[in-house]
Amino acid sequence: MIPHRQCVGCKKVLPKKELLRFVSLGSNTIAFDKKGRLSGRGAYLCPDRSCLERAIRDKRLQRALGVSSLGKNFVTHVVWRLKDETLESLHLCYKIGYLKIGFDEVKYLKEGDVVVLSGGIIEEITEPIVEKAKTLSVEVYQVPFPEYCNVCLVVLIRGGYPKKNNILKTLQVFSRLTSGGDNP
Ligand SMILES: [Zn+2]
């Protein structure tokens, strides 16, 4: 049986690997436990901005971790951490030649590819891309990468990318955690 855990935000019980895990390492240090292997007092959360904010507001995350407070930039730190991870995954994909950058690449979009749009692009630009992606059943993620804006607004991950599942999971988590709320 797949192990399940309860989200401290919405209280839903979900498979452990779909949730984020935070661990208290003592003296008010909280670690974001990506691989779920750190020992210590832990708490699970859906990778949703609303669950994270709710768990903090209702002090359920603090209680689960046995700390009095989390520091006012806790959410920002979590988002930054995930942003780093997402950039790392994209970089790895780029290094082995499966990441294509720029609007021109959209012309060659085909089934099995994945589109990543940088946050903050105006809808007039994104709409035709999203439309084209829809006709090809291509997944689209929009994520806030302010530091990417000068470089690339659109990236395509080619269908044959061997680590596609990993990168998709990272993108899903990042886009869920950054939609809604004030994005740092
Ligand atoms: Zn939840």
Q: What is the pLDDT of residues 70-93, one digit of tens each?
A: 888 899 889 888 888 888 999 999
What's the pLDDT tens digit per position in 122-149? 888 889 999 999 999 999 998 877 554 4
Domain termination site, one of 50, 71, 92:
71
- Within a domain: residue 58? yes
Domain limits at 41? 4-71
| CATH code of the domain covering residue 14 | 3.30.1230.10
Confidence label for 33 from pLDDT (cuts 50, 70 and 90): confident
Q: Which of 74, 68, 70, 66 is nearest to 43 (CA)?
A: 66
Question: What share of the chain has pLDDT > 90, as a percent?
Answer: 54
Query: Whole-prediction pTM value?
Result: 0.83
User: What is the enclosing helix (H) or strand (E) of 17?
Assistant: none
Q: Which of 174, 184, 183 is nearest to 83 (CA)?
A: 174
**Judgement on whether residues 63 and 107 belong to the same structural domain of the protein:** no
CA of 165 to the centre of ligand 1 (A): 22
pLDDT of 100 > 70? The answer is yes
Split into its structural domains, the chain has a count of 2
CA 20 – ligand 1 centroid, Å: 10
The reply to whether 183 falls in a domain is no
Ligand 1 centre distance from Cα of residue 52 (Å): 8
Q: How far is the CA of 61 from the centre of ligand 1 (A)?
A: 11
For ligand 1, the distance from its centroid to the CA atom of residue 111, given in whole angstroms, is 32
